[in-house]
Amino acid sequence: MNDLNSVLLEGRMTADPTYKTTPKGTPLCTFSIAVSRSYKNGEAYEKETSFFDVETWAKTADMCNTLGKKGRGLRAVGRMKQDRWEQDGKQRSRIFIVADHVEFRPEFKKDAAAHGQAAAESQADDIPF
């Protein structure tokens, strides 16, 4: 029986994605996302931001490379993975997200204000999450 290892993150890309292929030709796309949350501390609201490295493979990697760019909002669903290695006699490790599914937030043109408030309101209705 497998233990549960499931992650859903929603945030923004911190930089343009990095794309490469393995020696066997499998596409790999990696990027980092910033995930923010707000909480109340006494009477004031605080903001906390966490940063996560994300790895995608195959068709998902192709899509992330094509659609992804710094600042783009997205939702990633996948699992956590830990790499372990030894460097200079010390044990090292890192935890990252392997995303099986990625959804990008829609991008809106900057000139929406020129078309009036109605255009902005109609675009806001199109946001899936």
pLDDT digits (tens, 9 = 90+) for 35-47: 999 999 999 999 9
- 87, two tokens: 């460097």
Amino acid symbol at 59: K
Which pTM does this prediction carry? 0.79
According to the model, what pLDDT value does residue 107 have? 87
Given a contact cutoff of 8 angstroms between Cβ atoms, the answer to whether 78 and 101 are in contact is yes
- Is the dihedral angle over the CA atoms 67, 68, 70, 75 positive or is it negative? positive
Specify the residue for token string 């990625």.
Answer: 102
Cβ pair 79, 97 in contact under 8 A: yes
Domains detected in the chain: 7-124 (2.40.50.140)
Q: Which tokens go with 112?
A: 């929406």
* Structure confidence by residue, pLDDT tens digits, 54-63: 999 999 999 9
CB 93 within 8 A of CB 78: no
